[in-house]
């Protein structure tokens, strides 16, 4: 998705939705009913748990260049929980490290949203996979996930399937314990979003 220079996205007023935003290019600010107005550059990850209701709008902080971002939405069911809107603890550089780097976020389904709990309801990772390097990722128990190729091309395999994912492509994992990814280009940048299935 894209926001034109100096522009903003339409106002979103939703509930019972988990939304993850990954900044791909430019600098994006997110303003919401919780008073957040902070902007992040390429590689920034934002999570909004709309809970019982949250209004949110994205702004492009540049007057010259567009801001591009990836948006992943996951219905959460009617749980009446409090809304949460927060940026992850890493910024642009983490996408240029080898393999997967976790983005630290609060537990989004916990009674106390600021609790650091050891078993978060979701995990977000990004990273660069070097050529000729097999990277194995293990999923937590009873979880599912989505992998999106931001740049490059990669071979992804599990116990039950195997295939190629190119830039802009994605694959989902349900009931898998792990997957292996191998770069098929000079560089592959990866976004991985996993969540507890139950």
pLDDT of residue 115: 41
pLDDT of residue 98: 67
With tokens 């791909």, the residue in question is 24
Q: Are 43 and 87 in contact (CB under 8 A)?
A: no
Residues 140-152 pLDDT 10s: 788 888 888 888 8
Residues 27-71 pLDDT 10s: 999 988 776 677 888 878 888 888 778 888 999 999 999 999 988
Q: Which residues pair with 101 in a beta bridge?
A: 126
First to last CA, the chain: 30
pLDDT of residue 113: 41
The fourth-level CATH superfamily of domain 122-196 is: Jelly Rolls (2.60.120.10)
Q: How far is CA 183 from CA 66, 151, 157, 166, 173, in A?
A: 29, 11, 12, 10, 19
Q: What average pLDDT does range 118-128 have in this prediction? A: 64
Residues 164-198 pLDDT 10s: 999 888 999 988 889 999 888 887 888 888 877 55
Residues 151-168 pLDDT 10s: 889 999 998 899 999 988
Tell which CATH classification among 3.90.700.10, 2.60.120.10, 3.40.50.300, 3.20.20.60 matches the domain 2-88: 2.60.120.10
pLDDT of residue 35: 61
Residues in Cβ contact with 32 at an 8 Å cutoff, skipping those fewer than 6 apart: 48, 54, 55, 56, 57, 85
Q: Which of 153, 98, 96, 95 is nearest to 124 (CA)?
A: 95
**Portions of the chain given CATH number 2.60.120.10:** 2-88, 122-196
Share of the chain above pLDDT 90, in %: 20
């Amino acid at each position: 998705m894209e926001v034109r220079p100096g522009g903003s996205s339409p106002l979103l007023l939703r509930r019972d939705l988990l939304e993850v935003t990954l900044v791909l290019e430019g600098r994006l600010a997110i303003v919401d009913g919780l008073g957040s107005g902070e902007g992040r550059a390429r590689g920034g990850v934002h999570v909004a748990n709309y809970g019982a209701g949250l209004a949110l709008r994205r702004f492009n902080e540049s007057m010259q260049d567009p801001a591009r971002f990836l948006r992943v939405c996951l219905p959460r069911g009617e749980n009446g929980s409090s809304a949460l809107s927060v940026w992850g603890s890493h910024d642009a550089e983490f996408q240029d490290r080898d393999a997967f780097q976790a983005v630290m976020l609060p537990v989004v389904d916990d009674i106390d949203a600021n609790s650091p709990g050891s078993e978060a309801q979701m995990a977000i990772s990004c990273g660069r996979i070097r050529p000729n390097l097999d990277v194995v990722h293990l999923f937590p128990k009873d979880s599912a996930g989505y992998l999106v190729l931001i740049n490059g091309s990669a071979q992804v395999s599990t116990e039950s399937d195997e295939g190629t994912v190119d830039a802009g492509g994605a694959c989902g994992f349900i009931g898998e314990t792990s997957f292996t990814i191998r770069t098929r280009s000079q560089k592959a940048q990866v976004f991985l979003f996993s969540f507890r299935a139950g």
